[in-house]
Structure 1
């Protein structure tokens, strides 16, 4: 719970869920950077799925609401641009040989880009959101997020991750 500028506390489950998504992506990137060659394809597919799920939830459930607030509109537009850059890096990685130096360099760039994006959201955007969004709006966003996470979990059970060099 965070204070809402002298008002009643605001439930920040949504912000915690989004930060948890960041932690999951960071963990997979770290695993991928230190993985053996035969694990890279699986971990890359896992990274793609985790990142795309995280980005979609942010875009659908959080950014649209936050764009309305001038205080963070610029940060939200920057975050959406980050998402596009990260998606492009994932596509580039998918086309490269995971054992090549170019692949490792792109993965490092992806790591740095994602880390900067997550830090900016967690330390600049989320605190402002906790202050600006009415408690009711946060609760509705949490419910939407939970519903979409449940739908996503059901869908993932029936799909296999796509790795470098594989197409769906």
Structure 2
């Protein structure tokens, strides 16, 4: 299976750069605020744990090849990391599906960064044949629900691990 590789993207004042292991140090600061884990659980990753995670993610695919992994660091002027957007790609029959995720550090929240960054990724993926988009969002996470709605996703009745599946596209069971 051949998956696309993340490419640099720009939208307005935001730059989305493909993830590198070297981004871990700066991103550890962005991801350090415990409020980011209110809905997802867990806690802020240590620098060594984040480096290990990034080493895995930059491979671009699961070890069995059934998933493609795309990750971008979201940067704001003058060149500061504000968060990330990620997409996990899978093929469901003839339909390529992307599960999107986004995190914006508390210092940058409320400025539309998640919507613009995730929207840029969604558009880029759609231009590469992705037909369906999903996001899994905790039912109490109103901010992420607003982002998903602005991206054209809608909630379904399906709940996985306490998160509601939001979808867009022609192939939207559950």
TM-score tier (shorter): under 0.3
- Whichever of the two has the greater Rg, that structure is 1
Ranked by relative contact order (alpha carbons within 8 Å, sequence separation 6 or more), the top structure is 1
Q: TM-score, normalised by structure 2?
A: 0.25
Structure number having the greater strand percentage: 2
